[in-house]
Amino acid sequence: MKLVKCFAFAFAAMLTLGTSIANAQSLSPTTKWHWDKGTIVVDTPERPAGQQDVLNLTAPKIQNVRVAFVGLGMRGPGAVERFCHIPGVQIVALCDYVPERAEACQKYLQKAGLAPAAIYSGEKGYEELCKRSDIDLVYVATDWDHHVPVAKCALENGKHTAIEVPSAMNLQECWDLINLSEKNRKHCMILENCCYDWFEMNTLNMAQHGVFGEVIRAQGAYIHNLDDFWDYYWKNPNGSDPGKLGWRMKYNMENRGDVYATHGLGPVAQALDIHRGDRMTTLVAMDTKSFHGKEYVEKKTGKECKEFRNGDHTTTLIRTANGKVIEIQHNVMTPQPYNRLYQLTGTKGFANKYPTEGYAVDAKQLAATGHQPKVDNLSSHGFMPDAEKQALEAQYQHPILKKYGAMAKEVGGHGGMDFIMDARMVYCLQNGLPLDMDVYDLAEWCSLAELGALSMDNNCASVAFPDFTRGNWNKVKGYKHAYAPEAEEKAVEEAAKAFTAAQKEATAKQNLWSLYDAVKQAKDAKAKAKAQKAYDKAAAKANAAVAKALKK
| Amino acid occupying residue 254 | E
Print the domain residue range for 502: 497-551
Banded model confidence at residue 240, pLDDT cuts 50, 70, 90: confident
Residue 369 in any domain: the answer is yes
pLDDT of residue 7: 33
Average pLDDT over residues 470-480: 98
- Is there a single domain that holds both residue 211 and residue 296? yes
What pLDDT, on a 0 to 100 scale, did the predictor assign at position 22? Answer: 31
Cα angle 106, 108, 110 (rounded to 5 degrees) comes to 70
**pLDDT on residue 1:** 38
Strands 280-287 and 343-346, by their bridges, are unpaired
What's the rounded mean pLDDT across residues 448-469? 98
Confirm whether 359 is domain-assigned: yes
- pTM of the predicted structure, to 2 decimals: 0.93
Same domain, 455 and 530: no
Computed on alpha carbons and rounded to an integer, the radius of gyration of the chain in Å comes to 24
Domain identity same for 86 and 103: yes
Contact in structure between 72 and 141 (CB atoms under 8 Å): yes
Please check whether residues 391 and 242 belong to one and the same domain: yes
Picking from 191, 211, 246, the residue at the C-terminal end of a domain is 191
Cα 42 to Cα 31, 35, 282, 324: the distances in Å are 7, 9, 10, 21
Paired sense of beta strands 280-287 and 65-70, if any: unpaired
Q: Is residue 13 a part of any domain in this protein? A: no
Q: Can the peptide bond before residue 77 be classed as cis, meaning omega within 30 degrees of 0?
A: no
Whether 16 contacts 29, CB under 8 Å: yes
Query: Which pLDDT value is given to residue 20?
Result: 35
Predicted pLDDT of residue 27: 82
Where does the pLDDT of residue 24 fall: very low under 50, low under 70, confident under 90, or very high at 90 and above? very low
- What is the predicted pLDDT for the residue at 376? 58
Find, among 133, 132, 131, 153, the residue nearest to 142 by Cα.
153
Q: How many Cα atoms are found within 13 Å in the side-chain-facing hemisphere of 472?
A: 13
88 and 186 together in one domain: yes
Q: Which residue has the higher pLDDT, 241 or 13?
A: 241
User: Would you say residue 150 lies in a domain?
Assistant: yes
Is 90 exceeded by the pLDDT of residue 162?
yes
Name the band, by pLDDT with cuts 50, 70 and 90, for residue 25. low
Do 117 and 244 share a domain, yes or no?
no
- 4 has a pLDDT exceeding 80: no
Domain membership of residue 489 (yes or no) is no
pLDDT digit string (tens) for 29-58?
999 999 999 999 999 999 999 999 999 999
DSSP 8-state class, residue 146: G
Last residue of a domain, one of 175, 191, 207: 191
What integer pLDDT is reported at residue 377 of this predicted model?
Answer: 60
Does 19 score more than 70 pLDDT?
A: no
Could you give the CA distance from residue 325 to residue 310 in angstroms, rounded to a whole number?
24
Higher pLDDT, 241 or 87: 87
Above 70 in pLDDT, residue 23? no
Q: Given this model, what pLDDT does residue 265 score?
A: 99
Question: β-strand 358-361 against 349-352: which pairing, if any?
Answer: antiparallel
Do residues 256 and 383 share a domain? yes
Q: How far apart are CA 165 and CA 24, in angstroms?
A: 19
Element (H or E) spanning 352, and its range?
strand 349-352
CATH number at residue 185: 3.40.50.720
Say if residue 470's pLDDT is above 50. yes
CA–CA gap between residue 60 and residue 301 (Å, rounded): 52
The answer to whether position 55 is within a domain reads no
355 — pLDDT class (breaks 50, 70, 90): very high
What is the band of 378 on the pLDDT scale with cuts at 50, 70, 90?
low
Angle, CA 223 vertex, CA 219 and CA 224 arms, to 5°: 155
Which amino acid appears at position 169 of this protein? M
Bigger pLDDT: 16 or 292?
292
User: What pLDDT was estimated at residue 363?
Assistant: 76
Contact 160, 136 (CB under 8 A): yes
Identify the CA nearest to 430 among candidates 499, 371, 377.
499
Number of domains in the chain: 3
CATH of the domain at 239: 3.30.360.10
Q: 363 versus 372: which is more confidently predicted?
A: 363
Q: How far is the CA of 28 from the CAs of 15, 170, 182, in angstroms?
A: 7, 6, 21
Q: In terms of residues, how long is the chain?
A: 552
Whole-angstrom Cα distance, residue 116 to residue 106?
Answer: 6
| Residue at 282 is within a domain | yes
Does residue 79 register a pLDDT over 50? yes
Question: Looking at residue 231, what DSSP letter applies?
Answer: G
pLDDT digits (tens, 9 = 90+) for 106-135: 999 999 999 999 999 998 999 999 999 999
Type and span of the H or E element at 409: helix 399-411
Answer yes or no: do 164 and 213 share one domain.
Answer: no
Same structural domain for residues 93 and 166? yes
Residue 241 belongs to some domain of the structure: yes
Place 248 in a pLDDT band, splitting at 50, 70 and 90: very high
With a cut of 70, say whether residue 10 has pLDDT above it. no
Using a pLDDT cut of 70, give the percent of the chain over it.
94
Give residue 374's pLDDT. 63
